[in-house]
Amino acid sequence: MSIRTYIFALLTSLVLFIAVILSYQSARLFIGSFDMVIEDTMLKIAEQYPEQDKIEQKILEYHVTTDWQKVPQQVRDYFPVIPIETEKLHTKFVDWAYIAPPQKIYSILVLNRDDGQVFVSKFNENIHQEMEEDHDGEFFIDPMVMIVLVGLSGIAIFIIVLLYVFKKVALPMESLQQWAKQLKLTELNNERPDFRFKELNGLATLIHNNLASVADSVEREQAFLSYASHELRTPIAVMRSNSALLEKVNPSPSEKERVIRDRIQRASLTMKSMTETLLWLSREGDADVPIDNVHLGKVIENTQAELTYLLAGKSVSVSVDIDDIEVSLAEIPAVIVLSNLIRNAFQHTQQGTVTIKQQGHKVTIVNVESNQDAIDNNHEELGFGLGMQLVEKLSNQFGWQYEITQDSKGYQVSIIFS
């Protein structure tokens, strides 16, 4: 529930409750006032009538008598015994809906005098008919109905005013919400809109400043990654070229020298992969990445061949199953993804098999570990490192379908380049 809806419902309920209470009190006061007038009239009649030597008498619309049995039968039907409370009006309404006049009304008042009790009564069994005759051809609204209508009108006016106020207040808040939701790092230099209220403008400034701070941090990190990866490319290229030159100068080195050369070669390949990973992590968007027709099978063969050094000293068999299909995709990101997936499979297999299968756009890599100690160590690892983060990022960026599953002996990774 939004704040706007909550406050509106709360205030409306409060005003509705107050209006009901006030309307009820107004109706009670209205009825009570009539009762007071009638009671006062009956008391004065009871003090003066019936006249001497008379048992009963008709004064205006009131019946006065000193004999209970002379009280009209219609009144005694609803008051079968003499009311205990004297000098007080007793009234009985019949078929009364509260907001409309009753169908019938019966009233009685008892007054104790020195010469005995006096009973003043009045009844009317045709109230609706009399009202129609009195207001024949006229527009008439019962006072009780008028009270209800006034109360409802007050509630309606309050709701309309409340909606107007909410609209005036809520529109700037909704504008602030939309502005904050659509605000981008590239738009931070644009002029901030005015949201009318000082508090909302202060909140907008706070959001803008915080996002600007985040943008500065992101920009510094991206610049660092970009500079670091570019600066590292030169020494890595020197290492790889010198390593290749050594192979040409002396293709048959001693056993110790061969170990050193292989170590240098592996280190340079690892550093090359890391710098490419850092560089791609610092990039945003794929608009400048060319899409070419790529022989995916050859890319897989070349990539796994470059990474076979990771299997040195391990009892791991590699199976590669590819076809001759050409796939339209961004080649460099695809090479980085495949390199990281194959590297991950080779690194997490100490003794077992690695199966790489490519069929059309889909590539599946499965590594099965048969060494129990290696399985336990793999389960204790918390993730796949920076390279697998890059795989996930590039897959999302280019819309490739990427899925990884794990069982007790290894991993299966599937990616569809489409």
Regarding whether 125 and 18 lie in a shared domain, the answer is: yes
Number of domains in the chain: 3
Query: pLDDT (tens digit, 9 = 90+) per residue, 332-363?
Result: 788 889 988 998 888 888 889 999 999 999 99
DSSP class of 31: H
- Examine residue 401 and state whether it is found in any structural domain, yes or no: yes
Regarding whether 304 and 381 lie in a shared domain, the answer is: yes
What distance in Å separates the CA atoms of residue 315 and residue 133, rounded to the nearest whole number?
113
Q: How confident is the model at residue 380 (pLDDT cuts 50, 70, 90)?
A: very low
Find the range with the poorest average confidence among 248-257, 264-273, 312-321.
Answer: 264-273
Task: Give me the half-sphere count of Cα atoms (radius 13 Å) on the Cβ side of residue 306.
Answer: 20
- Examine residue 230 and state whether it is found in any structural domain, yes or no: yes
pLDDT of residue 379: 46
Regarding whether 388 and 275 lie in a shared domain, the answer is: no
Regarding whether 275 and 328 lie in a shared domain, the answer is: no
Interval 189-200 mean pLDDT = 79
Regarding whether 98 and 34 lie in a shared domain, the answer is: yes
CATH of residue 227:
1.10.287
Q: How confident is the model at residue 209 (pLDDT cuts 50, 70, 90)?
A: confident
Regarding whether 295 and 247 lie in a shared domain, the answer is: no
- Examine residue 11 and state whether it is found in any structural domain, yes or no: yes
Regarding whether 374 and 308 lie in a shared domain, the answer is: yes
Regarding whether 331 and 401 lie in a shared domain, the answer is: yes
Return the ∠ at Cα 299 (arms to 266 and 301), rounded to 5°: 65
Judge contact between 66 and 55, C-beta under 8 A.
yes
Kindly compute the dihedral angle of the four CA atoms of residues 76, 77, 83, 87, in this order, to the nearest 10 degrees.
Answer: -60
Domain boundary among 153, 170, 192: 153
Regarding whether 381 and 298 lie in a shared domain, the answer is: yes
Regarding whether 127 and 18 lie in a shared domain, the answer is: yes
pLDDT of residue 277: 63
Residue 194, CA distances (Å) to 173, 184, 197, 199, 205 in order? 11, 18, 8, 11, 10
| Domain membership of residue 380 as a residue range | 290-416
Interval 225-233 mean pLDDT = 71
Q: Global pTM?
A: 0.45
- Examine residue 140 and state whether it is found in any structural domain, yes or no: yes
Interval 129-137 mean pLDDT = 62
Three-state secondary-structure class, residue 101: coil
Regarding whether 19 and 146 lie in a shared domain, the answer is: yes
